[in-house]
């Protein structure tokens, strides 16, 4: 079995579709070809020269990164510049590189949910919603004798599954009528004869990202040349998606104690605090992986008393403080939590789908900052 970059991308983008990314974010394939066969995957937060060397030592041919390696367009490839020399080394060694940035931040069960779980934030909601996922009701009409095959194919795809329920569908009986024309190759009936067939209307709900796969699965498993299928937009089911989470601690605690909890859980040697009110206990917390200072107004609007995010700018810190918001800044590298979670996720998919690959997690710390 050959496993390609395209195979990986198809599976990953079912989990975190590109349309979940913030506008202008350079996610996706940065190096390599979708047709390229891959056998060893390395998961990393950053693509740095030392990470590329690690990949080469391991014989890796595919790097999955959270941070896009070409965040700003390169105007030249000067081999005397380490970052640009790294690009050349990636190409020379035939390594494909794929990045999932704000789509991984936004997706349910992604970066900000991992951080929320780590920092004991419960009953979370989205901090800033920038898009919504449309949902559809799909109905296909199947001869009663063939329903089991169509139903089995749809259920096996996982398209109908929700968070807490699997194999969710609805069906009711009816009668289908048709007259095959000269060029038809009917599975039922005779040419130029009006036919009546006992059929079942089989319905299920799926997201925009599963719709094409659902239609293809129906067509592949349906006995008819032309499977009659209705697709209806469910305006009441559009699911908001966005970056950051806000929720509550099970029990309020002093700011200093909560900052210490974050420091320990993220294995940090230090972090920065913006203290608006040292005596107010921490209860409702917003968290946004990476540099999220521009969303502090959303944290306030959602009732947060404390905001966890990285790379807080000096003057914005003043604004947050004046607005009464305590801020915990663990730096940008606290997003490295993604590495073990992605490793587990990919290994689960490997077990489910039989990927013929080895999967590694980068052992390097790419945080450029240290505390003295």
Collapsing DSSP states into helix, strand and coil, what is residue 260? helix
Q: Return phi, psi of residue 149, to 5°.
A: -70, -45
**Main-chain phi, psi angles of 344, to 5 degrees:** -65, -45
Residue 111, CA distances (Å) to 114, 211, 296 in order? 5, 25, 18
Annotated binding site for a divalent metal cation: 66-67, 105, 332, 335
CA distance linking residue 32 with residue 74, whole number of Å: 17
Q: Scan for tokens 């070409």, then name that residue.
A: 70
Report how far residue 69's alpha carbon sits from residue 183's, in angstroms, rounded to the nearest whole number.
54
- Could you give the C-alpha distances from 275 to 247, 281, 322, 327, in angstroms and in order? 20, 12, 10, 7
Please, are residues 144 and 200 in contact by the beta-carbon 8 Å criterion?
yes
Residue 227, helix vs strand vs coil: coil
Question: What's phi and psi for 7, nearest 5 deg?
Answer: -60, -45
Measured between alpha carbons, how far is 356 from 119 in angstroms, rounded to an integer? 35
Edge-to-edge strands, sheet with 96-99: 28-31, 96-99, 62-65, 40-44, 358-361
Distance separating alpha carbons of residues 29 and 9, to the nearest angstrom? 9
CB 68 within 8 A of CB 103: no
Separation CA 52–CA 29 (nearest Å): 16
Count CA atoms closer than 13 A to 137's CA, side-chain side.
12
Show binding-site residues: 66-67, 105, 332, 335
């Amino acid at each position: 079995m050959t496993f390609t970059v395209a195979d990986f991308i198809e599976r990953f983008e079912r989990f975190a579709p590109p349309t979940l990314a913030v506008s202008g974010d350079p996610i996706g394939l940065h190096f390599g070809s979708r047709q390229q066969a891959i056998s060893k995957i390395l998961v990393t937060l950053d693509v740095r020269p030392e990470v590329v060397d690690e990949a080469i030592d391991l014989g890796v041919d595919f790097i999955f990164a959270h941070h896009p390696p070409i965040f700003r367009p390169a105007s030249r490839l000067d081999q005397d510049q380490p970052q640009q020399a790294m690009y050349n080394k990636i190409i020379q060694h035939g390594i494909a590189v794929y990045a999932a940035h704000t789509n991984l931040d936004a997706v349910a069960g992604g970066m900000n949910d991992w951080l929320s779980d780590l920092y004991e934030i419960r009953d979370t909601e989205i901090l800033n919603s920038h898009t919504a996922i449309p949902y559809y009701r799909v109905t296909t009409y199947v001869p009663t004798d063939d329903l089991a095959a169509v139903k089995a194919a749809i259920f096996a795809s996982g398209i109908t599954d929700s968070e807490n329920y699997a194999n969710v569908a609805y069906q009711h009986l009816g009668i289908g009528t048709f007259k095959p024309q000269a060029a038809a190759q009917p599975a039922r009936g005779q040419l130029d004869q009006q036919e009546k067939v006992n059929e079942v209307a089989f319905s299920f709900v799926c997201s925009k990202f599963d719709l094409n796969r659902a239609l293809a699965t129906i067509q592949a498993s349906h006995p008819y040349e032309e499977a009659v299928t209705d697709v209806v937009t469910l305006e009441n089911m559009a699911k908001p998606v966005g970056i950051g989470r806000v929720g509550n601690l099970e029990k309020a605690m002093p700011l200093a104690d909560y900052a210490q909890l974050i420091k320990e859980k993220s294995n940090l040697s230090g972090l920065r605090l913006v203290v608006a009110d040292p005596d107010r206990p921490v209860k409702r917390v917003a968290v946004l992986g990476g540099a999220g200072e521009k969303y502090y107004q959303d944290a306030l609007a959602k009732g947060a008393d404390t905001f966890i995010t990285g790379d807080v700018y000096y003057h914005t810190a003043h604004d947050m403080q004046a607005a009464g918001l305590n801020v915990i800044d663990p730096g940008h590298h606290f997003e490295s939590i993604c590495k073990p979670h992605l490793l587990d996720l990919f290994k689960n998919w490997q077990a489910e789908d039989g990927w013929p690959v080895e999967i590694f997690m980068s052992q390097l710390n790419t945080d450029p900052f240290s505390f003295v």
